[in-house]
Amino acid sequence: MSRLPRLLAVGLLLGGLALPALGVAPAAAAAVRIDPAALERGPSSALPHLEGRRIIDGDLRIRVRGRHLQLLGETADGYLLRMTRSRTAQVRFVRPDGSTVQVVADLRNDDAVLGGDGSVLTVVHHRFRARASTIRAYDPRTGDQLGVRKVKGFADVLDTDGTGQGRVVFATFPPRRTVLWDLATDSGERVSKRPGYHADLDEDLLAVYTRDPYRGGCSVLRTLSDPGTRLWRSCTERVTAVAPGGASVATIDLLSDGIGPFTTWVRTTAGDRVARYRVDGFFGSIDFEDADALLLRTYTADSSGLVRCELEKCELAWRLQPGSPLL
């Protein structure tokens, strides 16, 4: 999955956490309760992120036009931004100098996903009456179409990468399955009979549901290359981010819904607990900054901020912001 997950970029609605992949905390260790207003300011996030109408990437500040901004991720020489202009949802490639190129003209309500290595953009259009989906793959800088695949059921793209001419891993429901689509050959390989909900092609990880989690289903973490290998099973938590190197994952409550979770865990891929974080509010985006640090956009009624945590130590990775009006 992208180091910059889909939600990390929705203006000020996302968050971050940090922690190490090495070292396992005792199972009974207390949760770290995060209050952004009580934290000291640390170094700025190493990941690009949106603050208001600006893309922040280290010392670089890029002001962008448009509404409903969502930073989809980083490419080799720029950024991919979902936005609304003239009442039309679109995807634009943003260069470091602030100039932009339209990549997808009219998204409507379609889902747009940029993969972890920034090389392939996918747009999924659901045809609800037909119970079918169309997945289109694009070059994220030029908008050139790389492939089209029509599938039965409602498709959800989990990750993409630039291997060969590109690969896309997606899930459908129904029929329940997870498929790896090779853009060079336009061939699809079923990698699981169960629907995946999170994947990371770089780290060879796939998380699937055994059945509908609202009807007793559980989460199972497997390897993509050998889906028969089960790493960890949980009936109370689900994976939401994978650390670089693939040794750790961040998880949230299995049935977490609504504005966002108020608890998140860091675990090894075998399920051993490394850390647990709570907030009197909710977490927005959750992503690993590196193998040791988790970034959380953290919201309370009084304050919010991008927070970096490593084990029990947490600090602000950007300026303190006002609290959420949702609380």
Q: What is the pLDDT of residues 20-48, one digit of tens each?
A: 334 455 555 689 999 999 999 999 999 99
Q: Are 165 and 183 in contact (CB under 8 A)?
A: yes
Average pLDDT on 239-266 reads 97
User: Under CATH, what is the fold of the domain 6-322?
Assistant: Neuraminidase (2.120.10)
Q: Which residue in this structure is represented by tokens 């020489």?
A: 77
Q: What is the pTM of this model?
A: 0.88
**Of the candidate ranges 31-40, 85-94, 299-308, the one whose mean pLDDT is the lowest:** 85-94
pLDDT attached to residue 16: 35
- Average confidence (pLDDT) over 109-118: 94
The residues spanned by each domain of the chain are: 6-322
Peptide bond preceding 213: is omega within 30 degrees of 0, i.e. cis?
no
Tokens in use for 142?
């030029």
pLDDT of residue 2: 44
Determine which of 18-27, 49-58, 106-115, 206-215 has the lowest per-residue pLDDT on average.
18-27
Distant-in-sequence, close-in-space partners of 127: CB < 8 Å, separation ≥ 6: 133, 134
The tokens 């169960």 sit on which residue?
194
Per-residue pLDDT of 145-155, as tens digits, reads 999 999 999 99
pLDDT score recorded for residue 245: 97
pLDDT at 9 over 80: no
pLDDT tens column, 172-224: 999 999 999 999 999 999 999 999 999 999 999 999 999 999 999 999 999 99
Mean pLDDT, the chain, integer? 91
Q: How far apart are CA 98 and CA 252, in angstroms?
A: 36
